[in-house]
Amino acid sequence: MPIDEITQKVNDRYARAASTGEQMCCPTSYDMANLKSFIPEEVLKISYGCGTPAGLQTVSPGEAVLDIGSGGGIDCFEASRLVGPTGHVIGIDMTDTMLAIARKNAPIVAANLGYPTSNIEFRKGMADAMPVADNTIDLIISNCVINLAPDKRKVFGEMFRVAKPGGRFTISDIVADQPVPQYLVHDSDKWGDCLSGALTLTDYIAGMVGAGFLGIHLIKSSPWQAIDGIHFFSVTLTGYKLPTEAPQSTVHFATLRGPFSRVVDELGTTYLRGIAQPVTPNTLRLLSQAPLISHFLLSSDPLSLDRTDDRWTAVYPADAPCHWRGHFALLAGPFIEAADDDHHVYRRGEPLEICSKTLTVLEADGYAPHFAIINRAGKQVGGDAVTCSPAEGCC
Ligand SMILES: C[S@@+](CC[C@H](N)C(=O)[O-])C[C@H]1O[C@@H](n2cnc3c(N)ncnc32)[C@H](O)[C@@H]1O
């Protein structure tokens, strides 16, 4: 299907939504009472995101923020408040009706925030050819937009181009648990519904890594809907354009604390829990980012840990029967591969069927932030108890 046709359909869809204020897409968890105190209702009612820009919580005053597919401007206005009058926010959208509403409300929000002038610019442009200078953005956000772009590889490339070295992104978007079949991909009406253009989590993350981002990890996920057996869910992902210079450091070793028993980082280094692994300055750049840093002890001399050490972390499965209830776990970074203490090997983005016992493990603090969990069972399943133990293989 021609790219222009998809773009036109998506544009028409969002122009209509902006004019009518119809309800669309997915549940979000904005603090609406707070937003209402400075953002006009006209903007809030055309909020069509599929997440909340959690990354904005990391924003510092004075930073430059870019919102790709800014719509009526909800996330730009929140960013405007957080970066303060010395910061700068750019919103990009291709739909004139959306841009008109966002631009009309920018001075109103600035006045509500007590700013002398608005610190936001709404620019007309495409996500795959952004009207933004190279290496200028501290934080890129986007809320339910990239799935709508026909050429995502170009969008990821553009994100990397405009991010400052040391910059980061936090993107909420819809992904699927398996490749979306051709009959949906070629249904131009479904593009605007955030279905036809959804990538698998594996392909989404691979696209970002291909563009040059690293340290990609999950902030939040929630199930959305299942259509023809395909599970669509929303994810909020963060990643980094690492600083160009490797840090001057005396650190030469990294020891995995856990809870994973083994991990492989995005540069291909394998770490076993408790064993010191030599690291290059380049790897150190990666491990120094959150949340990777919380998994390691970084040291100048080799440092070993065992399970008697307070810094060793692990979540062991209960010695109890398993019930298979349709759950699948998708590792969503910051590692490309990771193993738990029950012989499961998780590969980033690939659904792995897990039983109730493993679900309990993955819901524990150390693991939970790294997994999206979906349930593929069509209806409530019986889930008869199965007895197994690590010695007999995992379950
Ligand atoms: C689902 S809405 C989300 C709007 C906004 N982020 C929010 O959370 O309310 C998608 C927005 O992205 C814009 N959009 C879709 N594809 C785009 C593209 N390829 N380039 C630029 N904007 C695009 C649409 O015009 C629309 O305003």
Architecture of domain 245-314: 3-Layer(aba) Sandwich (3.40)
Ligand 1 test: best mutation among 4, 8, 13, 14, most atoms within 8 Å of CB? 14
Q: 47 C-alpha to center of ligand 1: Å?
A: 10
Closest Cα to atom 12, ligand 1: which residue?
69
Average pLDDT over the chain, rounded to whole? 93
Q: 70 C-alpha to center of ligand 1: Å?
A: 6
- Mind listing the pLDDT tens digit for each residue in 243-257? 988 778 899 999 999
Q: 176 C-alpha to center of ligand 1: Å?
A: 19
Q: 145 C-alpha to center of ligand 1: Å?
A: 5
Q: What secondary structure letter does DSSP report for 249?
A: -
Whether the per-residue pLDDT at 391 is higher than 70: the answer is no
Q: 345 C-alpha to center of ligand 1: Å?
A: 36
Alpha-carbon span 385 to 345, nearest angstrom = 23
Pair type for strands 88-93 and 64-68: parallel
Question: Which range among 89-93, 213-217, 243-247 shows the weakest confidence by mean pLDDT?
Answer: 243-247
Residues above pLDDT 70, as percent of the chain: 95
Closest Cα to atom 10, ligand 1: which residue?
145
Q: 76 C-alpha to center of ligand 1: Å?
A: 13
What ligand 1 atom has the least distance to the C-alpha of 142?
Answer: 6
Alpha-carbon span 364 to 94, nearest angstrom = 42
Unique residue bearing structure tokens 């105190």:
37
Q: 93 C-alpha to center of ligand 1: Å?
A: 6
Q: 59 C-alpha to center of ligand 1: Å?
A: 22
Q: 57 C-alpha to center of ligand 1: Å?
A: 22
User: DSSP assignment of 210-223, as one string?
Assistant: HHT-EEEEEEEEEE
Per the model's pLDDT, the better-predicted residue between 344 and 26 turns out to be: 344
Phi (first) and psi of residue 176, to 5 degrees: -120, 155
> 355: which residues sit within 8 A by CB, 6+ positions away?
322, 323, 324, 325, 327, 386, 395
Closest Cα to atom 13, ligand 1: which residue?
69
Residues in contact with ligand 1 (CB, 6 Å cut-off):
10, 14, 25, 47-49, 69-72, 74-75, 92-95, 98, 126-127, 143-145, 148-149
Question: Which range among 36-40, 348-352, 379-383 shows the weakest confidence by mean pLDDT?
Answer: 379-383
What ligand 1 atom has the least distance to the C-alpha of 194?
Answer: 1
Whether the per-residue pLDDT at 388 is higher than 70: the answer is no
Whether the per-residue pLDDT at 274 is higher than 80: the answer is yes
* CB 35 within 8 Å of CB 78: yes
What ligand 1 atom has the least distance to the C-alpha of 15?
Answer: 25
Architecture of domain 322-392: 3-Layer(aba) Sandwich (3.40)
* CB 295 within 8 Å of CB 264: no
What ligand 1 atom has the least distance to the C-alpha of 18?
Answer: 27
What ligand 1 atom has the least distance to the C-alpha of 98?
Answer: 27
Say what the pLDDT of residue 281 is. Answer: 93
Using the Cα atoms of residue 118, residue 124, residue 129 and residue 131 in order, give the sign of their dihedral.
negative
What ligand 1 atom has the least distance to the C-alpha of 155?
Answer: 19
Say what the pLDDT of residue 6 is. Answer: 87
Alpha-carbon span 219 to 199, nearest angstrom = 18
Say what the pLDDT of residue 203 is. Answer: 97
Phi (first) and psi of residue 233, to 5 degrees: -145, 155
Q: Does CATH place domain 3-240 in 3.40.50.150?
A: yes
Domain 3-240 matches domain 245-314 at the CATH topology level? no
Please give the average per-residue pLDDT across 58-73, as a whole number: 95
Per the model's pLDDT, the better-predicted residue between 21 and 122 turns out to be: 122
Whether the per-residue pLDDT at 114 is higher than 90: the answer is yes
Unique residue bearing structure tokens 């996920």:
221
- Mind listing the pLDDT tens digit for each residue in 8-24? 888 888 888 888 877 77
Closest Cα to atom 23, ligand 1: which residue?
69
Whether the per-residue pLDDT at 230 is higher than 80: the answer is yes
What ligand 1 atom has the least distance to the C-alpha of 125?
Answer: 21
Residues above pLDDT 90, as percent of the chain: 79
Closest Cα to atom 19, ligand 1: which residue?
149
Closest Cα to atom 26, ligand 1: which residue?
71
Q: What secondary structure letter does DSSP report for 320?
A: S
The domains of the chain are located at: 3-240, 245-314, 322-392
What ligand 1 atom has the least distance to the C-alpha of 72?
Answer: 9
Using the Cα atoms of residue 309, residue 314, residue 315 and residue 319 in order, give the sign of their dihedral.
negative
